[in-house]
Structure 1
Amino acid sequence: MKSLLPPSAAGSLPKPSWLAEPEKLWSPWKLQGDELIEAKQDALRLALDDQLQAGIEIVSDGEQTRQHFVTTFIEHLDGVDFEKRETVRIRNRYDASVPTVVGAVSRQRPVFVDDAKFLRQQTTKQIKWALPGPMTMIDTLYDSHYKSREKLAWEFAKILNQEARELEAAGVDIIQFDEPAFNVFFDDVNEWGVATLEKAIEGLKCETAVHICYGYGIKANTDWKKTLGSEWRQYEEAFPKLQKSSINLISLECHNSHVPMDLMELIRGKKVMVGAIDVASYAIETPEEVADTLRKALQFVDADKLYPCTNCGMAPLPRHVATAKLRALGAGADIIRRELAA
């Protein structure tokens, strides 16, 4: 029996300090070879245990086996040269040195399937697996082969669909595509972004989700947020198209953001993962603060379609802070469950 308001984490959880340098994106591993494989599995088990103790109902790997939510997937593909790097503007926000697409992109073997099978063996809970979305993938590369954002996105969508089908076969219940780029490239979203996402989920019987956020709590993202004014209406651009799409769940940033709650009306009928935990702050929410965000969301989302969540991944946070935030999320969801039952 599925519980009402099942909480989940949007993406990454901090890695233990013995596995990788804490509070850092793209943190190098501290081990190698078989030791690293074993350590990643240990970290995955710990991340799972933290979620279970916090009352998280839809659990994940916490992205313990990958350095980064986009590049780790791309590293396993053919056609991308990680030695040949160019500087590009990521999501119109900051410059980064990125790998180059030098030929036709393809996937020779599964990327995360073994990790997903391992997670499936550890728990009977529903499990969610995050993959980068096609548009966010092309935004983290320099393309010297296709020379077309759209063409490259369609190629990645086909590859993601191969991976997603194998993840489903491995027992994953929800496959989530991370598309922070949907909050930036509005014309692309409507012209081909949602369509490529539909290609990525083609033929899947498991539930599918898209996570659209304002980014990790890193300086480039928090600085950008300060320029967005008193109302963040970016979701208004993508939501109407997503409402008509086959995607089951839509994940959005809510708590401590300037996103008007009533924008959720635009996706009425969809399941909504409401971000009730701020990942850009070390302040730990109280369960009552989480409950308050969820109460407000219930004006626009039916209770059976509300999925409490974090705003984004928590990899850059100290581990004890992230764990406490997860507990607040679980406890806040519980408050609302009791209110609804009464």
Structure 2
Amino acid sequence: MAIKNHILGFPRIGLHRELKIAQENYWLKKITLNELLAVGRKIRKKNWKIQIESGLDYVTVGDFAWYDHVLNISMMINNIPKRHCINEKKLNLDTLFRIARGSKLTDKNCSASEMTKWFNTNYHYIVPEFTCDQNFCFSWKQIIEEVDEALSLGYPVKPVLLGPLTYLWLGKIKGIYFNKLDLLKKILSVYQEVLLELSLRKIKWIQIDEPILVLDLPEDWKKAFNYSYKVLNNNKIKILLATYFGDIHHNLEIINNLSVNGLHIDLIAGKYNLSQLHKNLNDKLLLSLGVINGRNIWKANILKWFHKLQSFMKIKNTFWISSSCSLLHVPLDISIEDNLTDFVKSWFSFGVQKCLELSILSRALNKKLDIQELDNWIKPIDEYKSSNIVNNTVVQERVSKISFDQIKRKNNFIIRSKIQKNELNLPILPTTTIGSFPQTKEIRKLRLDYKNRVINQKDYEKEIKIHIKNNIIQQEKLGLDVLVHGEPERNDMVEYFSEYLEGFVFTKYGWVQSYGSRCVKPPIIVGDISRITPITVKWSKFAQSLTKKPVKAMLTGPVTILCWSFPREDISKENISNQIALALRDEVLDLENSGINIIQIDEPALREGLPLRKKEWTNYLSWSVKSFKLCSSGVKDSTQIHTHMCYCEFNDIMPSIVDLDADVITIETSRSDMELLEFFKTFKYPNDIGPGVYDIHSPNIPTIKWIEKLLIKALQYISPERLWVNPDCGLKTRNWIETSLALQNMIQATINIRKNFLKK
């Protein structure tokens, strides 16, 4: 009898975001390719060492990515969009970065591939593109090279690959429509080559991730699983099929018939009775049980898991324990934090600590560790529950008294729209931006100096006002119709707001990869939430004093603050969201009272938070829409409420987006060539809408003709009276030269459309 342990994946950005820094320096040509590669090797080596020293039985290899693990598979099978192909002898990192970021190649503009959310997380992946006539080959051998690296260091290696069916499912058809499954046989032949190479290296187990098995799959996709794993089973290497983010009860019949050797299930997101599951599963399958939460940072109650698993051992005496999913979604190491008290730090486990939890738990189950060690580990959990940081009776009472009147505007959109048009006096096709302007080195240094008390508050605010004034001047020169203050005072759209809300704590080094070199530092919700002081009023009011044009105030919505934070686990997400919404409602009303007539409440995470199974959608959409309306509905009819959403598939929740009752929605569509607008052939969005006309995450400058083409396409579905013109996201990651040139072209294209396309 032996209970082994492993993880599904490890954070790959480095303890101090070394990967991000190296990537960006490489893109700026400040370091060479060899220097970038050396950083990657150093991170991988450190990650494997952590896993072994923590007491894990395997190191997971293949979870490292230079930009995204889905893009890794595109490179591995040579699925390179034609627009990104140039005369290179073989694929290299520049190819990978072109697909992810776009580039200017000679006379053609190579737009980046679409990016969207990885299931219901805040991680983004590069969407694979498929055409009916393409072929594949094993052209990018990063997985083999990394396995060789780990083997050379003497580590017990368990490689991981995204499964072929999940990869196909996540991709999009380009050009002539066909069934994506028609490509499966060709893709499987590449996977066979990979497995052969790994078996030659005496690899015992490979983890193949198929998270789509938690979804409601069409019949042809269900059948494709049986075929695929018959093809991949070569009897030389054992396959651990990994599922996560939900349970797989509804697909057990498929799984039981697969030619695999093991199955990983997520016991955190899934609802399982282990003894019942054992009865329903093929007894020959090795079970890997995801007992340590890979998506949240709270210390695990390993004593509770010990008793549950010890009982299960009477039924099945051999299994593995693991993280619920990859640890990609949590920070690396809590021990280096100096921004939290020891008392608060003791509540949390980051990547390193989660490996330790698995080690402690498996040793206890294997009778190599006294159970008292588990009890010592979880003591902080009980201390948290009794802490005065957690409960606020005023907040709890306010939530209990939420009424229907608080979530409804006084009049419908048709009436409000007429009032707002008279008040704002905007031209047809009004131009605006999503909120942020370039975060220069000077701005970042200014915030850091203030945070480190190098400068005082008075000097800090004086400098921030200079940056806001410059943002207003630049926007007026460009000719934008609705201005923003540019957000120079903000580090992150969630962290900034959370700093003004009671109930949050913040790390200094708790970075998590969102995509590519983009990292976020999610706040941690530890208690009941209320607003400490007005958050944006001072800066919005100052910006409005500098111009006669309307200035749009910028807020982050309650669902997004919830989804992009690490939440409490002792109360419902609905409760947390409503607490945030009430705090934001106070902010919205203060903005209105200070003379701000346009308020944008961003909810990019609304779709992301959607449960993966459709039967659970109704409840989630009901409370999430209610939370948005709770913070937005207290204003007068003359105040225009905007919202913004990006990088998700929105078609399937469009009725709920309508229910938000925002006066204007700005939404990302440029990477998908305004594919979303096809939906409006049959669905008439009733309010104003601004489909993004260019991709701000690419360094490419959109041409006037490109934007004109997208606007003409948009006007086929949206009347000019309801169409706004804007980029598809905030501009904080771009520099001023890129920003000015792109906005100049956007505004000129709008002027051209107004004159030529809309002339009577």
State the TM-score bracket (shorter-chain normalisation): 0.7 to 0.9
Partner residue of 2:448 out of 18, 21, 29: 29
Secondary structure, counterpart of 2:493 in structure 1: coil
CA contact (8 A) 1:41 1:65 kept: no
Report what 1:211 is aligned to. Answer: 644
Report what 1:12 is aligned to. Answer: 436
Does 2:661 align with 1:241? no
Relative distance call for 1:326 and 1:88 in structure 2 (3 A) is closer
1:11 CA displacement? 2.0
Secondary structure, counterpart of 2:721 in structure 1: helix
Partner residue of 2:708 out of 268, 291, 296: 291
Secondary structure, counterpart of 2:448 in structure 1: coil
Q: Distance in 2 between matches of 1:84 and 1:337?
A: 48
Q: Distance in 1 between matches of 2:509 and 2:448?
A: 21
Q: Distance in 1 between matches of 2:575 and 2:448?
A: 34
1:244 CA displacement? 3.5
Partner residue of 1:46 out of 463, 466, 470: 470
1:105 CA displacement? 0.8
1:28 CA displacement? 4.9
Does 2:139 align with 1:139? no
Secondary structure, counterpart of 1:167 in structure 2: helix
Residue identity matched to 2:678 = D
Q: Distance in 1 between matches of 2:519 and 2:566?
A: 12
Consecutive aligned runs of 4 or more in structure 1 exceeding 6 Å deviation: 84-91
Relative distance call for 1:317 and 1:336 in structure 2 (3 A) is same
Percent identical among aligned pairs is: 24
Relative distance call for 1:170 and 1:245 in structure 2 (3 A) is same
Relative distance call for 1:291 and 1:199 in structure 2 (3 A) is same
1:10 CA displacement? 1.0
CA contact (8 A) 2:483 2:551 kept: yes
1:115 CA displacement? 0.6
Secondary structure, counterpart of 2:441 in structure 1: coil
Partner residue of 1:273 out of 680, 686, 690: 690
1:140 CA displacement? 2.2
Residue identity matched to 2:651 = E
1:126 CA displacement? 1.6
1:141 CA displacement? 1.8
Alignment of 1:1-342 (within 5 A): 1-20=425-444, 28-30=447-449, 32-33=455-456, 34-83=458-507, 97-144=521-568, 146-186=570-610, 187=617, 190-205=621-636, 206-214=639-647, 234-257=649-672, 259-264=675-680, 266-339=683-756, 340-342=758-760
- Higher strand proportion (structure 1 or 2): 1
1:87 CA displacement? 7.7
CA contact (8 A) 2:664 2:689 kept: yes
User: 272-281 or 82-91, which moves further after superposition?
Assistant: 82-91
User: Normalising by structure 2, what TM-score?
Assistant: 0.40
1:117 CA displacement? 1.0
1:97 CA displacement? 4.8
CA contact (8 A) 1:268 1:300 kept: no
Residue identity matched to 1:125 = K
Relative distance call for 1:96 and 1:326 in structure 2 (3 A) is closer
Residue identity matched to 1:306 = L
Q: Distance in 2 between matches of 1:144 and 1:2?
A: 43
Residue identity matched to 2:621 = N
Residue identity matched to 2:633 = E
User: 187-196 or 67-76, which moves further after superposition?
Assistant: 187-196
Residue by residue, what CA displacement relative to the aligned partner does 1:28-66 show, whole Å, maximum 9, x if unpaired? Answer: 535532222111111111111121111210000111221
Residue by residue, what CA displacement relative to the aligned partner does 1:129-171 show, whole Å, maximum 9, x if unpaired? Answer: 1211111101222223753221111111111111011111122
Secondary structure, counterpart of 1:18 in structure 2: helix
Residue by residue, what CA displacement relative to the aligned partner does 1:209-252 show, whole Å, maximum 9, x if unpaired? Answer: 110101xxxxxxxxxxxxxxxxx7x1112211222442111111
Residue identity matched to 1:103 = G
CA contact (8 A) 1:179 1:210 kept: yes
CA contact (8 A) 1:10 1:309 kept: yes
Relative distance call for 1:295 and 1:202 in structure 2 (3 A) is same
Q: Distance in 1 between matches of 2:514 and 2:580?
A: 18
Secondary structure, counterpart of 2:665 in structure 1: strand
1:185 CA displacement? 2.4
Aligned length: 317
Report what 1:226 is aligned to. Answer: none
User: 29-38 or 133-142, which moves further after superposition?
Assistant: 29-38
1:281 CA displacement? 1.1
Residue identity matched to 1:212 = M
Consecutive unaligned residues in structure 2, runs of 5 or more? 1-424, 611-616
Q: Distance in 1 between matches of 2:508 and 2:572?
A: 19
Q: Which has the higher contact order (CA 8 A, sep 6+)?
A: 1
Consecutive unaligned residues in structure 1, runs of 5 or more? 22-26, 215-231
CA contact (8 A) 2:492 2:520 kept: no
Q: Distance in 1 between matches of 2:643 and 2:595?
A: 19
CA contact (8 A) 1:136 1:179 kept: yes
Q: Distance in 1 between matches of 2:509 and 2:562?
A: 14
Residue identity matched to 1:210 = T
Residue identity matched to 1:254 = T
Q: Distance in 2 between matches of 1:100 and 1:260?
A: 34
Residue identity matched to 2:665 = I
Residue identity matched to 1:65 = E
Secondary structure, counterpart of 2:434 in structure 1: coil
1:75 CA displacement? 0.4
Q: Distance in 1 between matches of 2:431 and 2:545?
A: 21
CA contact (8 A) 2:640 2:663 kept: yes
